[in-house]
Structure 1
Amino acid sequence: MSEYTPDEILRMAQERIAARQAETRRPLPWGAIFAGSFSALLVALLFSPGMPLEWKMYAVVHGICAQQHNIFVGGLQFPLCARNSGIYLSFMLTFIYLYAIGRGRAGKLPPGHISLTLVAFVAIMAVDGFNSLFLDLGLPNWYPPDNFLRTLTGMGMGITIATMLHIVLNNTLRQNVDPQQPVFTRWTELLGIIAIDLLALAAIYGNLGITFWPLAFLAFFGILGVLYLVCLLVTSLFMGYEGKVTSIRQLARPATIALIPTLLIAGTMSWLRFWMESMGLVI
């Protein structure tokens, strides 16, 4: 006679089946899924017919960028306005630069004098932004605004945004963050990214046509990149990745899922603005 009851036999059978299924179940290749999804979106942007590439880029970010005070390089219009081109071009360059100088795991604010400089960048752009706004509103302003100043002051803001977002992402998601490593440790490192920004600025306002596409793509992916990284952060926290990441590859799953809200937000805002313009509600 069996020493197990029918209920116990059934339970053990179910446990064995579940164990076998767990052994044979393979995790989805999220890295390949992300690469495929991103590649498909990029191919759609580059090769979908109907309008020139620069105008497709313009349309994608139409809802999240003012697109006034536009700039042209080599006869082509940037997808972002002058100020936003400076901000998000500099954001992308700074983000790349931080990894290039080995600050991928840095989690500490720069020393006080450098941090104050970053704050000053924000204040300087705010002053220039209000000066331009006052002119647009027909109010007295302090000095004649122009696109060069809009882009230049925007670049300082882009350095600050990239620095702060890098710190937030590392301290929120990384398990192996280095809390004692500042993002910038000395002036020469900050001056390095400023010099790179100034070279980009010179290419834009020197009308160096060969640089249009690299710079336009950096600015375009910069503005979408900020939106995407915020969506990635929220998605990762919701999925329980807080303080668990030791390799960027571990973020493949939330990185893929974060593409969805990024596209929904950008697409909805773009459609809404085009609709409002068609109704005469926005000039």
Structure 2
Amino acid sequence: MMAGLLEQPAHGQKRRAGVVALAGLSLLALAGFLALPWPLEEKSLAALHGLCAQRPSHSFWFAGSRLPFDARMTGIYGAFLLTVGYLAVAGRLRRAGLPSLPILAFLAAGVLALGIDGVNALLQDLRLPTLYEPQNWLRFVTGAWTGTLLGVVLWIAANAVIWRPEANSLRAVLDGPRDLLVLGLLSTALGWLAMSGWRPLYWLLVLFLVLAAVTLLALLALPAVQLLRRREQQVEALVELGWPATASLALACAFMAATSGLRFLIEWMAGIPSLP
């Protein structure tokens, strides 16, 4: 009994240390990114270089500066972050149940729409007949549609692996059409801001997209970290995720740096010109 009493403070200290480590690494990564001695556009393009083609003609511009993701990836990553943010705020933290079939079908249709739009754009690049004239706003819409599905799927996968099963775990992560409406309005607002070209928004949108990329990669890594630790379905409190989340954040940043560096190296060695 005495050993159990002594164990509890030790566990509490370890959990608090994990939260402090996560906060510290987050602040360090942000400060390091902002402190790099290059313009924000160059830093953000370099940070996300391994995740996106970054074609200038497919990007949204703000008075001579472009967003680090092209229009389609802006939709995918932006809608992903809006989706997981909404699910967290709406109290769906432990839910891992699939949405209803009609909602799943609607979200899955976004992948089909993205595929059609992507093939249509490829046909234009190959100077072949197209179904319609490719537009950046369509790239964003199909990307955001797919990004919403991606956010839902990764949220379900992470919750199914992380949390100890309980009654709430079986509840659907989306309650119904109202959730789709809210997510659609959030993505619409993001699209309007991204297409506005209003220079004061540039900093906020760039940091939002970099955060979206880090969050997506970290959410992919978190269940894998728990599986490697053989700690799947054992977490009972959010504070227990401090150390696993810190490791996931470190992996996400390392992956971004590695993929960007590799692409820069390949482009330099092969003499590949920038895409138009």
In the TM superposition, residue 71 of structure 1 has moved relative to its aligned partner by 1.4
Q: Which segment is superposed worse, 38-47 or 97-106?
A: 97-106
Distance 1:30 1:153 in 2: 38
- The Cα RMSD (Å) is 2.4
Distance 1:125 1:282 in 2: 27
Distance 2:29 2:269 in 1: 30
Distance 1:282 1:226 in 2: 28
Number of the residue aligned with 1:67: 54
Number of the residue aligned with 1:180: 170
Number of the residue aligned with 1:42: 30
Distance 1:217 1:205 in 2: 16
Number of the residue aligned with 2:86: 97
Q: Among residues 256, 261, 266, which one is paired with 2:251 in the alignment?
A: 261
Number of the residue aligned with 1:7: none
Aligned partner of residue 107 in structure 1, secondary structure: coil
Q: Match of 1:47, as an amino acid?
A: A
In the TM superposition, residue 74 of structure 1 has moved relative to its aligned partner by 4.4
Q: Which protein is richer in helix relative to its size?
A: 2
Q: Which protein is richer in strand relative to its size?
A: 1
How far does the alpha carbon of each residue in 1:37-72 deviate from its partner, in whole angstroms, 9 at most, with x for none? 1211110101222x1122211101101211112211
Distance 1:145 1:23 in 2: 60
Aligned partner of residue 67 in structure 2, secondary structure: strand
Tell me: CA distance 1:27–1:114, structure 2 relative to 1, closer, same or farther (3 Å).
closer
Q: Which segment is superposed worse, 210-219 or 244-253?
A: 210-219
Q: Among residues 177, 194, 202, which one is paired with 1:204 in the alignment?
A: 194
TM-score by length of 1: 0.86
Is the contact between residue 158 and residue 222 of structure 2 (CA under 8 Å) also seen in structure 1?
Answer: no
Is the contact between residue 96 and residue 159 of structure 2 (CA under 8 Å) also seen in structure 1?
Answer: yes
Tell me: CA distance 1:24–1:123, structure 2 relative to 1, closer, same or farther (3 Å).
closer
Aligned partner of residue 139 in structure 2, secondary structure: helix
Listed as ranges, the matches of 1:1-283 within 5 Å are 27=14, 29-49=17-37, 51-68=38-55, 69-176=58-165, 178-283=168-273
Distance 2:35 2:269 in 1: 30
TM-score by length of 2: 0.88
In the TM superposition, residue 24 of structure 1 has moved relative to its aligned partner by 11
Structure number with larger C-alpha Rg: 1
In the TM superposition, residue 193 of structure 1 has moved relative to its aligned partner by 0.9
Tell me: CA distance 1:164–1:41, structure 2 relative to 1, closer, same or farther (3 Å).
same
How far does the alpha carbon of each residue in 1:158-197 deviate from its partner, in whole angstroms, 9 at most, with x for none? 1000000000111111115523321212212111110111
Number of the residue aligned with 2:3: none
Which structure 1 segments of 5+ residues have no match? 1-21
Is the contact between residue 225 and residue 244 of structure 2 (CA under 8 Å) also seen in structure 1?
Answer: yes
Which structure 2 segments of 5+ residues have no match? 1-6
Q: Which segment is superposed worse, 92-101 or 177-186?
A: 177-186
Tell me: CA distance 1:260–1:100, structure 2 relative to 1, closer, same or farther (3 Å).
closer
Distance 1:84 1:136 in 2: 18
- Indicate the percent of aligned positions where both proteins have the same amino acid: 30
Is the contact between residue 176 and residue 246 of structure 1 (CA under 8 Å) also seen in structure 2?
Answer: no
Distance 1:81 1:162 in 2: 19
Distance 1:36 1:160 in 2: 31
Is the contact between residue 54 and residue 79 of structure 1 (CA under 8 Å) also seen in structure 2?
Answer: yes
How far does the alpha carbon of each residue in 1:102-131 deviate from its partner, in whole angstroms, 9 at most, with x for none? 222221111111111001111111111111
